[in-house]
Structure 1
Amino acid sequence: MILLGIITIVEANNSSHFTGLCELRNLREISLYNNHLEGILPSCMANWTSLHFLDLSENHFSGNVHSLSDLRSLEFLSLSNNEFLNPITFSSFFNLSNLKFLFGDNNKIAFETNSHTRVPTIQLRLFKLSRCSFNGLNKTLPTFLHYQYDMQEIDLSHNNLSGTFPTWLLENNTRLEVLILRNNSFTGSFLVPYEHYLYPNIKEIDISSMLPMWMGNMSQLTTIVMANNQLEGPIPIELCKLFNLEFFDLSENNLFGLVPSCFNLSIIKFFHLNKNFFSGPIPNVFQNNSNLVTLNLRDNYLNGSIPDWIGRVSSLSILLLGANHLEGRIPIQLCLLQKLNLLDLSYNKLFGPIPHCLSNFTFKASDHDFTLGGLSGVFVGKIIPITWAYLITPRYEFAFEEATLEDSKQEVEFTTKTKTYSYKGDILNYMSGVDLSCNRLAGEIPPELGKISNNLRAMNLSHNNLTGPIPTSISNLKQMESLDLSYNNLNGTIPPQLTEMTSLEVFSVAHNNLSGTTPDRKNQFITFEESSYEGNPLLCGPPLHNDCTKIGPAFTTPMDYEEEGGSFMDMSVFYISFVVVYITVLLGIVAVLYINPYWRRAWFNLIEVCIDTCYCFVVVHYCKLFKFRLA
């Protein structure tokens, strides 16, 4: 009887459990994936001369892999995530002429030296070697890759490999679709052969200093992620030909110029140009785009006003325009964005009141897919296309996203709880916040903001020119975790109802003109220190050191506010202070005159002189006036 098929061992705890399989010489496929197998690989594995598929990944194997060197029929081999004591050398697989798919992540690797390199008979299609530790100081690319001409996907990420950038990988492998080299230490320029991109007369391009124009010819491209590189120059208008583009991320580069206005014909969902040097106004790029989910233009030099058409981008969930030079009023059309979860307009020059209609935001959890899964032709790192599924054989499907799954998620920064955090992937569906800080907004805080959905987690209105009281309705936002109203001109008392906001972790009303007592030290408010209230001279109570009995009772009458000088005066406090000072001065004079007889005589003489002078003044002027009337 001959067994032809797949052997899968589940929840075994020792390699001895599969040594009996060595007698099954006609086995074609074996998967030992994700068990607790340990020990060395038995030498009898060499009996599997008909084996095509072998998956030993996610175990605790040790020793070496020499027993696999005679499996001439092997096409697929995975050794990932094991504990081989002896470093894996690729020369062990040089005779496996049928091997097409080789995986060795998270292992100890020893690359062969040039003096001992043999020409391999293998021609790999997929090679994955990520997050490995290396034996010795040799951290350059394995030399056997120089003899590979049929590879389609290569992942050598997170290895800290050194040497010049391997342009020859692209030149030798004209069918290459995936090249992942992130988190290494390659030097030199990244040269891309042009003949693969319909430019037969131009042989190469150095993209260490511009975005390549030839990307505009990749008409099926859906995603470009080239964040955190040293790319310079403007965005080529050729990219506007990418009508299937859905994800566009060129953040954290040195790009400059105007944001192209030719993307409005695309179906872009995620658009990131933050942390660059773009200038000029926000272009009319997406006014007809009903698919846009994220627009991230933070940390640039954009000027002008926020366009009114922004309200027509009905699908927008994340709008980040902070840290630019935008001015003007916040358009009320912004209130039409019913699906908005994150709004950042901080660090601009916006003025005028806060629109009351911001209360229309619902901040409901969305169901957007903030990962790059399902998109084809993704570019990550140094202009690297990535596909997300690879069909190994008609019978097996292997997901290639393991190394880049975490890196593939959309990531945005948002400031809350006095710190800037990065939110990544599906958590963006649940994070909500409004940041209008560091502008020139004036007027009162609209009480309607207390009607915003309870799902709002962060609100920052600090460093503006806001006046008036803190609305009591703010206490309705029960899910609020961070509320910052500091550095304004707010007056009146702090509503005691705010203590009902039991989710607050950060609260600040520092540096305003608030008066009265601080909220009761209960619930979350027992955790807030003096820094949450400092800079309010008329505010008293713990944790401040001001004693409310010395300052006097809190008054709720309106304060006269002088806008030009930016100062204020509580008239009730003024009247009380005047009477106290008057009585004090009067009693002081009486006490001095009673104690010192010389000053007492001088005081009475002064009064007598003043009376005589006044009497003479009145009499003389009366006579003159009388004579004038008689005449």
Structure 2
Amino acid sequence: MIDLSLNQLSGQLVEFPNALSPVLHTVDLGSNGLQGPIPMSIFKLTRLKHLSLSFNNFIGTIQLLDIFQNLPSLDSLDLSYNNLSVNASNGNSNFSSLPNSLDDLRLASCKLGIFPDIIKNQQEIFSYLDLSNNQIHGEIPNWIWKVMDGDGVLNLSRNHLVGMQEPYSFSYIHTLDLSFNQLHGKIPVPIVSVYPPYIDLSSNYFTSSIPSNIGDALYDTHYFSISNNGLTGVIPESLCRYGYIELIDLSNNSLNGRIPSCMFSKSRTRGLNLRSNSFSGPIPDTFPAICLLETLDLNGNFLTGTIPKSLANCRALEVLNLGNNEIFDTFPLFLKNILTLRVLVLRSNNFYGRIACGDNTGNWPVIQIVNVASNNFSGVLPSKCLTKWHAMMGIKDEVHSPEIYNSSEIGFSSPSYYYFKYEDGVTVTNKRLEMEFKKIPRAFTYIDFSSNNFHGGIPKELGQLSYLIVLNLSNNALSDHIPSSFGEMQQLESLDLSRNRLNGEIPTSLSNLNFLAVLDLSHNHLVGRIPMGTQIQTFSGDCFQGNEGLCGPPLTLNCPGDVTDMPPEPAHEARHSNYGSGIKWNLISAEVGFIAGFGGVIGPLVFSKRWRKYYYDGIEDVAFSILPRLVLEKWLSWKFGVRK
């Protein structure tokens, strides 16, 4: 047995000696950095049962038929995610039989153009068949269902499939992934009322309504996603009347009407994503007393009414996104005891009133995103709340799952591959751009109170949020000075205080913000000199416009007492003057500011292990928020040993 997986091996493989052929039964070199062609001697190890070369950089063309001919004892073969071209055609060969023991075949990202001919004559053999991320066109052949065993995983995602040959049956499938293809027409519903426990039809071109009897077919389904299609009509109540769906994703379609109350009443439901549709009416107040809900995303609909009070029963809630609706309510303080809440998005609704926190309220220790922008909130900013948001302060709280996690009581199933696949997403405005995170980075912290009616001073407690990355308080009626404590928010990258009534001078402590990439202080009543010799000097004058009392670079207005153009020296004095004595202080101050800012960024990364770790963790989180899922799976396999 040779198992060198999940290391950092690189270079080319050497030939395997013939002496290993009678004894070697396992070769696992997956998740390394191996390069070059695969040695042909590896396919002469005739006793080999398990061969995994996935997640490397192997190159070349592999004849699938040759592998099966030479390795008759093979149980599992994984060539996924290399730079290989696998030829899956039989050609003119008379060989048409797979190894009798083969039940796990993974050829993801192998440049397949067709379904492998050699597998279609087999009967109930595969527990795992992965042909995803290839270039397979046409229809899904109906023989594919016959080669799966009773608890099999079939992954055909990320191909160019356009339909399904009839008849089709899902009876022998446990996990079915057909996402990211070009399937169109009606949603496939089997004649026999059996859908796989895990089914993903997302990111296709289905344009029908949801069949009224789909609930019968989904009786034993735990994960169901048909997001990013063109579905129309209403949600039939049968979708949630029966079954044990733990996570349902109907987002990014054209569904309308009211959301059935039964969608919220199931104790087993962990995730419900209905964002970006056209649902209307109130959110049903039917959350059960025993509620395991972790994600509720209703963003981008036409929902009205108030936030249902029964939502407080969902003590494991992590993501609540109600943005871009027509909800008319006050701030949901009744959710104060949900200690797991990480994301709260209420933006672009009709919320009103104060955001007030008493001594025992607003205790969200792991909250990382709070977005209440574009509402009618008023009063002063909630300073007491801020001191309880420990994740933004860099304080790590150990949040225990509530006692209602009793799997035996509610029949809760263990996490599956799809709980690694599904990711909570959110849209934020950062650096003047609207950004959609497909996955919310754990290190990303964000507060947006913009476009409301907040007044009074900015609380100095904001300075305690030393791990905050984005702060937007623009377009309110805030007054008084900018707190000098802002200089303590060392991770801040974006600060927008524009269009308020702030006065006084810009605190020099802002020069401590070494990561600041966006700054907007425009349209206030700020006065005095813009701090010189700091990173602030690198921002354009637009960031300070609309403050008639501000002066100094980068504005063109000089401050009182500044030395302006000097009268010309007499000719005889000019001849004896030191060359270059006319120093351009404005340019020097900008250069010094650049050097200070540059050194403030690079210095901590070089000399501080904590800053360096935070930086790379942040880059990693942002990378996985935009890169394809396939790269995420590879990273998971490297870092945690997670295998499909």
TM-score when scaled to structure 1?
A: 0.69
CA-CA distance at 1:322 after TM superposition: 0.8
Cα pair distance change 1:16/1:142, threshold 3 Å? farther
Aligned 8 A contact 1:438 1:464 in 2: yes
> Which residue in 1 is equivalent to 2:112?
109
CA distance in 2, matches of 1:90, 1:275: 50
CA-CA distance at 1:221 after TM superposition: 4.0
Cα pair distance change 1:94/1:111, threshold 3 Å? farther
CA deviation profile, 1:261-302 (whole Å, cap 9, x unmatched): 212421222222222332222221322333222211122222
> Which residue in 1 is equivalent to 2:130?
128
SS of the residue 1:483 aligns to: strand
Q: Does 1:510 align with 2:484?
A: no
CA-CA distance at 1:325 after TM superposition: 2.1
State percent identity of aligned pairs. 24
> Which residue in 2 is equivalent to 1:341?
368
CA-based RMSD of the aligned residues comes to 4.0
- Which residue identity lines up with residue 101 of structure 1 in the other structure? D
> Which residue in 2 is equivalent to 1:521?
532
Q: How does 1:62-101 map to 2 (within 5 A)?
A: 62-63=60-61, 64-70=63-69, 71-85=71-85, 87-89=87-89, 94-101=97-104
Match of 1:440 among 435, 453, 470: 453
CA distance in 1, matches of 2:365, 2:3: 51
> Which residue in 1 is equivalent to 2:180?
183
- Bigger mean CA offset, 82-91 vs 534-543: 82-91
CA distance in 1, matches of 2:486, 2:4: 59
Aligned 8 A contact 2:247 2:271 in 1: yes
Displaced runs of 4+ in structure 1, greater than 6 A?
90-93, 197-207
SS of the residue 2:80 aligns to: coil
Q: Does 1:409 align with 2:462?
A: no
Cα pair distance change 1:462/1:163, threshold 3 Å? same
CA distance in 1, matches of 2:561, 2:214: 86
CA deviation profile, 1:554-599 (whole Å, cap 9, x unmatched): xxxxxxxxxxxxxxxxxxxxxxxxxxxxxxxxxxxxxxxxxxxxxx
Aligned 8 A contact 1:447 1:472 in 2: no
CA distance in 2, matches of 1:173, 1:21: 45
CA deviation profile, 1:187-206 (whole Å, cap 9, x unmatched): 11213237227999998799
- Which residue identity lines up with residue 452 of structure 1 in the other structure? Q
Q: Does 1:287 align with 2:319?
A: no
> Which residue in 2 is equivalent to 1:547?
558
> Which residue in 1 is equivalent to 2:546?
535
Match of 1:195 among 193, 196, 199: 193
SS of the residue 1:192 aligns to: coil
Aligned 8 A contact 1:44 1:67 in 2: no
Gaps of 5+ in 2: 197-211, 219-224, 400-404, 408-412, 564-644
CA deviation profile, 1:127-169 (whole Å, cap 9, x unmatched): 11122245xxx4443564154353621112222x13225785x
> Which residue in 1 is equivalent to 2:507?
495
CA distance in 2, matches of 1:310, 1:530: 43
Q: Does 1:173 align with 2:184?
A: no
CA distance in 2, matches of 1:89, 1:527: 61
SS of the residue 1:67 aligns to: helix
SS of the residue 2:77 aligns to: strand
CA distance in 2, matches of 1:356, 1:495: 20
CA distance in 2, matches of 1:358, 1:281: 22
CA distance in 2, matches of 1:104, 1:453: 47
CA-CA distance at 1:528 after TM superposition: 1.6
CA distance in 2, matches of 1:297, 1:200: 29
Q: Does 1:431 align with 2:444?
A: yes
SS of the residue 1:449 aligns to: helix
Cα pair distance change 1:167/1:517, threshold 3 Å? farther
Aligned 8 A contact 2:295 2:317 in 1: yes
CA-CA distance at 1:123 after TM superposition: 3.4
SS of the residue 1:191 aligns to: coil
Cα pair distance change 1:217/1:78, threshold 3 Å? farther
Match of 1:421 among 435, 439, 444: 435
SS of the residue 1:421 aligns to: strand
CA deviation profile, 1:296-315 (whole Å, cap 9, x unmatched): 11222222222331333333
Specify the structure having the higher radius of gyration (Cα): 1
CA distance in 1, matches of 2:252, 2:433: 21
CA-CA distance at 1:498 after TM superposition: 3.0
- Which residue identity lines up with residue 533 of structure 1 in the other structure? F
Aligned 8 A contact 1:99 1:122 in 2: no
SS of the residue 1:303 aligns to: coil
- Which residue identity lines up with residue 458 of structure 1 in the other structure? V
- Bigger mean CA offset, 503-512 vs 193-202: 193-202
SS of the residue 2:486 aligns to: helix
> Which residue in 1 is equivalent to 2:600?
none
CA-CA distance at 1:82 after TM superposition: 3.8
Match of 1:252 among 254, 262, 276: 276
Cα pair distance change 1:231/1:148, threshold 3 Å? farther
Q: Does 1:156 align with 2:156?
A: yes
Cα pair distance change 1:352/1:165, threshold 3 Å? farther
> Which residue in 2 is equivalent to 1:457?
469
- Which residue identity lines up with residue 103 of structure 1 in the other structure? R
Aligned 8 A contact 2:490 2:515 in 1: yes
Q: How does 1:198-597 map to 2 (within 5 A)?
A: 208-209=231-232, 210-211=234-235, 213-216=237-240, 220-265=244-289, 266-332=291-357, 335-361=362-388, 362=390, 363-365=392-394, 366=396, 405=420, 407-423=421-437, 427-428=441-442, 430-442=443-455, 444-450=456-462, 452-518=464-530, 520-549=531-560
